[in-house]
Amino acid sequence: MRNLTKNHRKPLPIVLVAGFLGAGKTTLMRRLIGDAARRELRPAVIVNEFGAAAVDSHILQQADAELIAAISGGCACCSGQDDLRETLIELATRGASTRPSVILLEASGLADPLLLMDAVTSAELLPLVRVASLIAVADAARPLDFGDELGPLLRRQVQLADVIVLNKTDIAGEMITQSAAALRAVNPRADLLPSVQAECDLTPIWAALYEDTPRDLGSLAENAAPHAHYHTVVCPLPHPVERARLEVALGNLGPEVWRAKGFVRVRGLGGWQLLQYTGGPGGGRWHLAPFHLPAYAPEPDGFLVFIGAALDRKQLLREFAGTKLLAMI
């Protein structure tokens, strides 16, 4: 059986590249691979192609990527979840000499980023990997219609992004202004990077990799926007919690929380409990069940991961990461 050393206890960061079909995701991946090498990072590259023929992975092999894993024949956010999970486990549990420093994951143009994020925060993967940055690549030369058949999917790709690369500006002409305005209307908080052939300043994409703690546990400065754009918020739960208080906190979650999951210790129950929460109209539903960690997974510190498009990080940390859930006195 595989065991993790102390070097593996820090979750492996993932840069997730999503975006419109034909917008230039693979071109951006090539640039990320080259830039990672210049920054002395060792990337592992995962390519998800919807069809059975792995085209993008062959293109990326020309970019001198040291590690390539191709998931073809299905979308990683649905039928390819098992392959993705096994690939991520294999990469995260490697020895120090071969373990990558970052995972670059190119999603299929038909992949739903919400389902992908749900997949990489499964019970097995929570202690092993984390989504550090989510990139949406948009085609500036193509009208952005969020109301057509693919509209809801395109909206989520933009809505959840930390960085939006507005590609093909050289052929977009006057549409650049229209495209930028449409993207800003859906997501005013992301970094918007105009580009030609996906060439742009990649620094905002790498920024989240260099934080020693999950990016959602950063400074709670008073001048921070009360509803800053966070697609994930990690709330530590290092101590056993009171079940009644946990139920109240979960019942008070608003519609902006789409999913929540994590490991908790509940007073009166032995061992780790896996908490799963799904938001929805009329209130969310949650389930608590005993969970035995896989042999290769490190012993976690208790925590909950919240997923949504416009989360109030300060409020979530106040309700779940402080002392409110501890035993009543």
Model's pTM, two decimal places? Answer: 0.71
* Cα–Cα distance for residue pair 125/43, rounded to 1 Å: 18
Asked if pLDDT for residue 115 goes beyond 60, the answer is: yes
Least Cα distance to 169 among 194, 190, 193, 144 occurs for: 194
**Residue 302 — very low, low, confident or very high, per pLDDT cuts 50/70/90?**
confident
Asked if pLDDT for residue 280 goes beyond 50, the answer is: yes
* Cα–Cα distance for residue pair 117/136, rounded to 1 Å: 14
Amino acid at 68: I
Taken in order 56, 59, 65, 70, the sign of the CA dihedral is positive
pLDDT digits (tens, 9 = 90+) for 14-58: 999 998 777 888 889 989 999 998 999 999 988 875 433 344 554
